[in-house]
Structure 1
């Protein structure tokens, strides 16, 4: 009797393993087909003007991504913050930009987004003089954890979304880290389709990273935010901000880097401003 019970449970688990992806896919397709709420459209116009620069077909796809994201990823207020639809839609719109072109899952490792009213304080260890490890308190605008959380400051989300072409977007930055963290710790090399793609990515991004460091050391002006020179993981996240907000400028300044990001994200952001309907 116990043997048949175990066999029945194993069969049920196998059927669930087979059916679950199909049911999830059907549910997501149903969510994408639902009419996009008019109130949400107004939020996008007011809070995320970058959306208006997208071609019409990509705007439609982004809205479908937003609907699935908000159905699956809870956004939880912290520090006494009450989360509103304005906050949820603003975050989802920017978080889904990196999913716009490529066929990727909806950040499968992400369990929740934690939202603070403003910059949040964290304690981080650092190596002091003499090799002594000490705690350093820092105020952050955002943080991505491989353990399934993205933490954001609403004030910084607002600022990042308000200007569509300044190359600064904390949501895109942290969700680029999420893509990088699919395999574990972020290192600036998110998974690629093949070894050849991975090798090319490493070569191109490492060269651009070292070029940014050299330009800053020489006191030269740079398009890319200096924070990108911190390490390869931050370079990828910073480059992603500029890719989505300043595609044409990035293509001019760093054509090889732009081409690599365009291959990875499967969108040509340099063409957005010229093709979008105002």
Structure 2
């Protein structure tokens, strides 16, 4: 009976009307970062609707002694909805929780070497993490920095939401669930050669425009270039023009000071 009541409560919550974001709060949110300046009035209205639904459907909690405020929740929700502005809210399905730390957080890792079979344990300091069907975990310090400096090549929320999109089809492999106008062949034809070129450059010790961390795996490459799509699209276009064009088709035009498409 308890399980049924919990299920019924979740069902009612899923159909509850999204809370309205007050005009003052929304205008303050948009004014908090130049990231939103290039959005059209229609896109801002749609982003507000998506953000309201995010606040209604997701739960927020603080960790590591962080004091979470309503304004911080609004900021994170807005940033999380920006990547799905042209995709739709259902692309954020499959998970419910956002956990916010004050800054970097430490996690334990197990690494399995496929060649030797050896498993080693260690700890990593992270600013963001996305679990399959689990929480989105963020450092508030880094979220706030991304809002203050939106075009410096970093956007931790966009990076982690890219991972969430990658998980939607059940396999975290650098190929997210795709909209009807993009085929899997289109995706791989643009992404794979660019990833392979970055990997070769990193292995040879060459300097790269794209963060070498993107060479860790195809899924990290997708997350890093997604981050760049929102935070430094000009650099991404110069470094990987085919990837830049593909992400414009996937996410929509980047919102940067030089963008005049809206």
TM-score by length of structure 2 reads: 0.85
Counterpart position of 1:101: 86
* Pairing of 1:105-116 with structure 2 (within 5 A): 105=90, 107-116=92-101
Superposed counterparts of 1:239-254, under 5 Å: 239-254=225-240
RMSD: 2.8
Evaluate the alpha carbon distance shift between residue 249 and residue 78 of structure 1 in structure 2; reply closer, same or farther with a 3 A threshold. Answer: same
Question: Which of 43, 60, 70 is the equivalent residue of 1:58?
Answer: 43
- Whose helix proportion is higher, 1 or 2? 1
2:46 is aligned with 1:92: no
**In the alignment, which residue of structure 2 is the partner of 1:13?**
none
Of 224, 240, 258, which aligns to 1:273? Answer: 258
Deviations 1:52-90 (A, max 9, x none): 232332222212211111111111111222210221111
| Helix, strand or coil at the partner of 2:258 | helix
**Unpaired runs of 5+ in structure 2?**
1-7
Q: Is the 8 A contact 2:179 2:250 kept in 1?
A: no
Count of residue pairs brought into register by the alignment: 251
Equivalent residue for 1:201, pick from 187, 191, 202: 187
Is contact 1:251–1:270 with CA below 8 Å preserved after alignment? no
Match of 1:228 in 2: 214
Identify the match of residue 117 of structure 1 among 102, 109, 133.
102
Q: CA deviation at 1:94?
A: 1.1
CA distance in 1 between partners of 2:209 and 2:48 (Å): 30
The structural deviation recorded for 1:214 is: 2.3
**Counterpart in 2 of 1:41?**
27
Structure 1: gaps of 5 or more residues: 1-15
Closer, same or farther: CA 252–99 of 1 in aligned 2, 3 Å: same
Deviation at residue 238 of structure 1 after TM alignment = 0.3
Q: CA deviation at 1:219?
A: 4.2
TM-score, reference length from structure 1: 0.80
Q: Contact (CA 8 Å) 2:253, 2:261: kept in 1 or not?
A: no
